[in-house]
Amino acid sequence: MSATGIGAPVRRKEDFRFITGKGQYTDDINRPGQTYAAFVRSPHAHAVIKSVDASAALASPGVVSVLTGQDLEADKIGGLICGWMIHNKDGSPMSAGAHPALAVGKVRYVGDHVAVVIAETFAQARDAAEKVMVDYDQLPAVVDMNEALTGKTVIHDVAPNNRVYDWHLGDKAATDAAFARAKHVTRLDIVNNRLAPNPMEPRAAIGDYDSGQEQFTLYTTSQNPHVARLVLSAFIGIAPEHKLRVIAPDVGGGFGSKIFIYAEETVCVWAAKKVGRPVKWVSDRTEAFLADAHGRDHLTHAELATDERGKILGLRVKTKANLGAYLSTFSSSVPTYLYAPLLSGQYDIPAIYAEVEGVYTTTAPVDAYRGAGRPEATFVVERLVEVAARELGQDPVAFRKKNFIRKFPHQTPVIMAYDVGDYTASLDKAMEMADVKGFARRKRESARKGKLRGLGYSAYIEACGIAPSAAVGSLGAGVGLWESAEVRVNPVGTVEVLTGSHSHGQGHETTFAQLVSDRLGVPIDQVAIVHGDTDKVQFGMGTYGSRSGAVGMSAISKALDKVIAKGKKVAAYAMEASEADIEFKDGRFSVSGTDKSLAFGEVALQAYIAHKFSGQELEPGLKEGAFYDPTNFTFPSGVHICELEIDPETGVTTIARWTAVDDFGTVINPMIVEGQVHGGIAQGVGQALFEGVHYDADGQLVTASYMDYCMPRADDLPSFDVGTTSTPCPSNPLGIKGCGEAGAIASPPAVINAITDALGHEHIAMPATPQAVWLAAQRRLPAIAAE
Amino acid sequence: MYAFSYHQPKTVRQAASLLAKNEDGKILAGGQTLLPTMKQRLAAPPALIDLSKVEGLSGIELKGRSLVIGAMTKHAHVATSEIVRQAIPGLADMAGLIGDPAVRNRGTIGGSVANNDPAADYPAACLALGATIITNMRKVPADQFFTGLFETALEPGEVVVKVAFPIVSKAAYAKFRNPASRYAMVGVFVAKRGSDIRVAVTGAGANGVFRATALEEALKKRFSPKSLDGISMPATGINGDIHASPEYRAHLITVMAKRAVTAAIGK
């Protein structure tokens, strides 16, 4: 391993720019003649728009234009789309209501977009937005999914019971048969709480239009600028792709929320032509809470059937998934194909049957958020397994080991074919690191102080590296999920890598450069990673689902293979040897059996001057591209162990120790991977203990600021003890599995299993706030006193 | 933020006269509550009267058996002041628990008491310690100063100049933070001066800071956390929200009071 190659903990190249304030985020960009947009948002959860009177706003100082949904319709600008078709049990397509970028006829959640005011300054736009008079006829809010499914109030006419779909996966008959012969059935009702994504940088957009070239440019906070361009061109109809450039410069976090094509970005790029000047919009934090797509929000009834020895026979779930008021870009896939196929967890479960209802409510749209479906599945599986072990009087570790999948490849009953893994190895290592043996002593010490101590396990699996295009296509995706790369070697041997993966915190500028350095033997500071601009990178599918390593780097690896292959041809001419005798190692091309060799940079120069092969079949230059389409998902897995202490007097939960052992396959940069794990755990602990989007019965968002939406803070978390095991992924050239979401997937059930272990009962839901834990501890206090 | 006029008086007299002249004008002290609410367009004062250039409003001194703190004294100053630490260590500890370092280095005692946020910490300290709020016009005992949610006894044109705290023998503050905002969800300040025992509660009361007389009576028998065993505070008149029901807050009052007494005895 070289100091900057694969496996080296190289410091992040991009951080100096970020921490010295030199990053270029969308809001740092200003275009000549720029105007500012402010959105008029619905104050009601559900209402008919009777009229919009913009006259006072138009007369307000500095106002350039006020636009509404009628203007979008007049320009034949289409609505926002959901790019994944889900079919009902009976084979009919899901019921997707229209999603205009500016509301037409009705508003369906607090924060829904009614009009946009464009003015000379941001303050003028905001002032004028308050003067747009909208006459509403209020309709009842429907916040609760069960209430929505009664259909008393209909949100979209196409979905009379507010049911978007009624989907299922698995073999119902086989699963029912498994339950019929079960010795024991564990039943749980689970709430997977709704979360707000909260990237550090809120969303922002600048729409720009060059009337001379008839060219649109959208600067935006996107995780996938090419997908944004595709949707804005092909579906929304802003402009054909060659007339629309999307630039996603430095982006300050996304967690999924910046995958989607939203109303604000669409309106800015459209309005730029309309007003003939660039239009900028920057979300404030409350707008982010109101209108960024939220995550999770499931109600699930789950059952696990076991035989007399505690061997799992079957698993059955019924889930209601809140999709909010409109279907966001990938929303339909999250509680279906990103959820149910993971319900086998790390376990050999012969029969699984999942039923999922997608439900409209008068709340913000819900879509992918770090983990997207997989945290929900892991929470179901790991809670069921833990509770089953407790009910059967078996040690939760022994119960898990008894049911672990041990032979690979393993075909689950729910689509996924696990390629490789060693679940026992991760569990054993995590138990050792967590000093599980010493837990009983630590629990006694806590009890002496009047505290309740608990230990919780989570053995998770996820499907990452999304995804084989044929597989997702057969499941309803409107796109393929390959990735592209282009490696441009300059004449002096420096390298530019153009990638369709987008970096918004993941450190690609470092890890991707490490791969290039490793393979070409050039220093990483001679490698530039170029991404986030549809004019520079031909196409790409972006960053989400822990795919940039497994899919994006595999594309780079393929392109590097081609660069080396061509380099050998050039070297052969340059050293007057046969191509078959050229070897490439440690950055040098050499003629085998001789002392003749050329450095990579020398061969690059030869490729460009072409003196030695002029007129031959070999073309000058050294630039290669590749598309990589994975053959399977990757399956990162691992075990997290949470040890915590509860103060029953106040309900405060303090996490005492956290152990994570993850199998990510090949690790490119262990420091960055550890950082991803830390951040993921923090978010998962956030979901388990702190975070929860709360709408009141009128559909008003109560948690619209940090005064009420509780984020995890550094002092809420212990120092994490992080380790790895490795079974390299066989389906991609680098053996990478992906690490971006693991922490957020693994951690919530570890926390809740630990809390329920401490409390001695299962009656706690996420977020386990001090009040909730205090209430739950009250149930337990008589028993503790008796002990 | 909406447009407003900005004034920078040099004396308290000028400030008071500007305040009297500008209806709905607001005094700007540390701005840690006022400026964020203005930025969110939740407050729209037509005029701001900034006290930062007024001489002599900041400082801490011991005057006889009183600790006198100037209205513009920052929380960080109170938290780290040797004088405060010697005189009323529980007050220094409380100041060190306000907000975060940025807030403590901008926010002021005068701003905190004049704003009387129902979840602010200083009102509890003032009430429990039996402080006197000294304005440009008069001296108001804390018991009469805090009159309701964001309401005080301040008259139009009246500016808080100092707060005087009598030295007590024992005092401490225990705060249960709102998990999201980290303001006090329940904050209890306990003070003992001779046989006078005062327990003030912030964050919990539907009408702002208040004295928990039931707890005071119990502690008068013996100043010990054990004296509070079994005393449950009624939930009537206590706030409820998504973070804490009135019952939970009421429960926490006793818990935090015990912890404050424990800390006070330890000092």
Interchain proximity B180–A771, CB inside 8 Å:
no
pLDDT of residue A785: 59
How far does the CA of residue B252 sit from the closest CA of chain A (Å)?
A: 7
What type of residue sits at position A62? G
Question: What is the count of structural domains for chain A?
Answer: 3
Instruction: Enumerate residues 6+ apart whose C-beta is below 8 A from B81.
Output: B60, B92
Asked which of A575, A597, A628 is the last residue of a domain, the reply is A628
Same domain, B159 and B175: no
Same domain, A351 and A268: no
Residue A145: inside a domain, yes or no? no
Q: Write the residue in A690, A706, A771 that is nearest to B245 by C-beta.
A: A771
CATH code (residue A48): 3.90.1170.50
Is B195 an 8 Å CB contact of chain A? no
**Three-class SS of A597-641:** EEEHHHHHHHHHHCCCCCCCCCCCCCEEEEEECCCCCECCEEEEE
Residue A297 φ/ψ region, left for φ over 0, alpha for ψ in the -120 to 50 degree band, beta for the rest? left
- Residue ranges of the alpha helices (H) in A168-311? 172-180, 225-230, 263-275, 285-291
How many residue contacts between A and B have a Cβ separation below 8 Å?
Answer: 41
| pLDDT > 80? residue A181 | yes
Instruction: In whole angstroms, give the CA distance from residue A775 to residue A756.
Output: 13
Q: Write the residue in B40, B242, B244 that is nearest to A702 by C-beta.
A: B242
- Residue ranges of the alpha helices (H) in A616-767? 670-685, 742-759
By CA distance, what is A695's nearest residue in B? B242
Q: How confident is the model at residue A556 (pLDDT cuts 50, 70, 90)?
A: very high
Strand A204-210 vs strand A215-220: parallel, antiparallel, or unpaired? antiparallel
Residue B259: inside a domain, yes or no? yes
Average pLDDT of the segment spanning A741-756: 98
CATH code (residue B103): 3.30.465.10
Average pLDDT of the segment spanning B61-79: 97
Same domain, B154 and B65: yes
User: Please, how many CA atoms are within 13 Å of residue A203, restricted to the half-sphere of its CB?
Assistant: 26
Give me chain A's average pLDDT, please: 96
How far does the CA of residue A262 sit from the closest CA of chain B (Å)?
A: 23
Residue A13: inside a domain, yes or no? no
For chain A, the residue count is 787
In this structure, what token pair is assigned to residue A735? 């053996």
Same domain, A667 and A620: no
Sign of the torsion formed by the C-alpha atoms of A37, A39, A40 and A43? negative
Average pLDDT of the segment spanning A605-615: 95
Q: How many helices (H) and strands (E) does chain B have?
A: 11, 14
Percent of chain B with pLDDT over 90: 97
Same domain, A656 and A731: yes
User: Do A545 and A367 contact (CB within 8 A), yes or no?
Assistant: no
Give me chain B's average pLDDT, please: 96
How far does the CA of residue A272 sit from the closest CA of chain B (Å)?
A: 26
- Residue ranges of the alpha helices (H) in B88-212? 89-95, 101-104, 109-115, 122-129, 142-145
Same domain, A110 and A132: yes
Q: How confident is the model at residue A779 (pLDDT cuts 50, 70, 90)?
A: confident
Percent of chain A with pLDDT over 70: 99
Same domain, B96 and B130: yes
User: Do A641 and A457 contact (CB within 8 A), yes or no?
Assistant: yes
Same domain, A94 and A210: yes
Q: In 3D, which of A655, A706, A365, A362 has the Cα closest to residue B243? A: A706
Q: How confident is the model at residue B120 (pLDDT cuts 50, 70, 90)?
A: very high
Instruction: In whole angstroms, give the CA distance from residue A120 to residue A722.
Output: 51
Same domain, B23 and B114: no
pLDDT of residue B267: 60
Chain B residues touching residue A769 (CB < 8 angstroms): 179, 243
Residues B71-111 pLDDT 10s: 999 999 999 999 999 999 999 999 999 999 999 999 999 99
Reduced to 3 states, what is the DSSP secondary structure of residue B189?
Answer: strand
Interchain proximity A127–B2, CB inside 8 Å:
yes
In which residue are the tokens 């009420």 written? A708
How far does the CA of residue A28 sit from the closest CA of chain B (Å)?
A: 21
Same domain, B151 and B104: yes
User: Do A768 and A469 contact (CB within 8 A), yes or no?
Assistant: no
Instruction: In whole angstroms, give the CA distance from residue A478 to residue A273.
Output: 29
Residue A771: inside a domain, yes or no? yes
By CA distance, what is A771's nearest residue in B? B244
Same domain, B162 and B66: yes
User: Do A516 and A523 contact (CB within 8 A), yes or no?
Assistant: no
Chain B window 144-183: which residues touch A at a Cβ cutoff of 8 Å?
Answer: 176, 179-181
Interchain proximity B179–A690, CB inside 8 Å:
yes
Measure Cα distances from A475 to A14, A512, A715 in Å. Answer: 37, 31, 43
Q: Write the residue in B2, B41, B255 that is nearest to A650 by C-beta.
A: B255
Residue A8: inside a domain, yes or no? no
Look up residue B207 and give its DSSP letter: T
In this structure, what token pair is assigned to residue A752? 């809740």
Measure Cα distances from B213 to A178, A239, A530, B116, B152 in Å. Answer: 63, 71, 68, 21, 21
| pLDDT > 60? residue B200 | yes
pLDDT of residue A428: 98
Residue B55: inside a domain, yes or no? no
Say what the ipTM of the complex is: 0.95
Same domain, B73 and B162: yes
How far does the CA of residue B59 sit from the closest CA of chain A (Å)?
A: 31
In which residue are the tokens 């994006």 written? A552
Q: How confident is the model at residue A239 (pLDDT cuts 50, 70, 90)?
A: very high
Residue B135: inside a domain, yes or no? yes
Residue B64: inside a domain, yes or no? yes
Structural domain harbouring A762: 295-466+632-786
Residue A477: inside a domain, yes or no? no
Strand B210-211 vs strand B196-202: parallel, antiparallel, or unpaired? antiparallel
Same domain, A430 and A513: no
How far does the CA of residue B253 sit from the closest CA of chain A (Å)?
A: 10
Measure Cα distances from A89 to A44, A151, A357 in Å. Answer: 34, 20, 10
Same domain, A581 and A499: yes
Residue A81: inside a domain, yes or no? yes
Interchain proximity B180–A708, CB inside 8 Å:
yes
pLDDT of residue A2: 77
Neighbours of A425 (CB within 10 A): 16
Residues B20-31 pLDDT 10s: 999 899 999 999
Strand A204-210 vs strand B139-141: parallel, antiparallel, or unpaired? unpaired
Strand A215-220 vs strand A244-247: parallel, antiparallel, or unpaired? parallel
Chain B residues touching residue A774 (CB < 8 angstroms): 248, 251
Q: How confident is the model at residue A787 (pLDDT cuts 50, 70, 90)?
A: low
| pLDDT > 60? residue A232 | yes
By CA distance, what is A690's nearest residue in B? B179
Same domain, B129 and B203: no
Same domain, A405 and A527: no
By CA distance, what is B248's nearest residue in A? A771
In this structure, what token pair is assigned to residue B266? 């330890």
Same domain, A521 and A646: no
Same domain, A345 and A362: yes
Q: How confident is the model at residue A781 (pLDDT cuts 50, 70, 90)?
A: low
pLDDT of residue A481: 93
Chain B residues touching residue A126 (CB < 8 angstroms): 41
Same domain, B150 and B69: yes
Neighbours of A19 (CB within 10 A): 10
| pLDDT > 80? residue A784 | no
User: Do A506 and A548 contact (CB within 8 A), yes or no?
Assistant: yes
pLDDT of residue B1: 87
In this structure, what token pair is assigned to residue A442? 């630590």
pLDDT of residue A1: 58
Same domain, B78 and B21: no
Same domain, A683 and A745: yes
Structural domain harbouring B32: 5-50
Residue B105: inside a domain, yes or no? yes
Asked which of A607, A628, A649 is the last residue of a domain, the reply is A628
Chain A residues whose C-beta is within 8 A of a chain B C-beta are 123, 126-127, 286, 649-651, 690, 694, 702-703, 705-711, 769-771, 774-775
Same domain, B116 and B207: no
Residue A23: inside a domain, yes or no? no
How far does the CA of residue A284 sit from the closest CA of chain B (Å)?
A: 9
Helix A770-786 × helix B246-266 angle, to 10°:
70
By CA distance, what is B119's nearest residue in A? A707
Chain A residues touching residue B244 (CB < 8 angstroms): 770-771
Instruction: In whole angstroms, give the CA distance from residue A559 to residue A487.
Output: 6
Asked which of A610, A628, A646 is the last residue of a domain, the reply is A628
| pLDDT > 80? residue A756 | yes
Instruction: In whole angstroms, give the CA distance from residue B125 to residue B175.
Output: 12
Tell me how far the alpha carbon of residue B127 is from its chain's centroid.
Answer: 8
Residues A62-90 pLDDT 10s: 999 999 999 999 999 999 999 999 999 99
Residue A270: inside a domain, yes or no? yes
Q: In 3D, which of B17, B88, B11 has the Cα closest to residue B57? A: B11
Residues A143-161 pLDDT 10s: 999 999 999 999 999 999 9
Q: Write the residue in A286, A770, A775 that is nearest to B179 by C-beta.
A: A770
CATH code (residue B206): 3.30.390.50
- Residue ranges of the alpha helices (H) in A69-205? 69-74, 122-129, 145-149, 172-180
pLDDT of residue A344: 98
Chain A residues touching residue B251 (CB < 8 angstroms): 774
Q: How confident is the model at residue A10 (pLDDT cuts 50, 70, 90)?
A: very high
Instruction: In whole angstroms, give the CA distance from residue B103 to residue B105.
Output: 5
Q: In 3D, which of A469, A471, A164 has the Cα closest to residue A335? A: A164
- Residue ranges of the alpha helices (H) in chain B? 12-21, 34-39, 75-80, 82-87, 89-95, 101-104, 109-115, 122-129, 142-145, 213-221, 246-266
| pLDDT > 90? residue A450 | yes
Chain A residues touching residue B1 (CB < 8 angstroms): 123
Instruction: In whole angstroms, give the CA distance from residue A780 to residue A759.
Output: 6
User: Do A740 and A674 contact (CB within 8 A), yes or no?
Assistant: no
Neighbours of B59 (CB within 10 A): 15
CATH code (residue A541): 3.30.365.10
Q: Which of A41, A124, A194, A649 to mutate to test the interface with B (most CBs of B within 10 A)?
A: A649
Instruction: Enumerate residues 6+ apart whose C-beta is below 8 A from A13.
Output: A509, A510, A513, A524, A525
Instruction: In whole angstroms, give the CA distance from residue A710 to residue A714.
Output: 13
Same domain, B26 and B46: yes
Residues A570-588 pLDDT 10s: 999 999 999 999 999 999 9
| pLDDT > 90? residue B38 | yes
Chain B residues touching residue A711 (CB < 8 angstroms): 180
Is B42 an 8 Å CB contact of chain A? no
Interchain proximity B181–A690, CB inside 8 Å:
no
Strand B160-166 vs strand B132-135: parallel, antiparallel, or unpaired? antiparallel
Question: What is the count of structural domains for chain B?
Answer: 3
Percent of chain A with pLDDT over 90: 97
pLDDT of residue A555: 97
Beta pairing partners, A454: A644
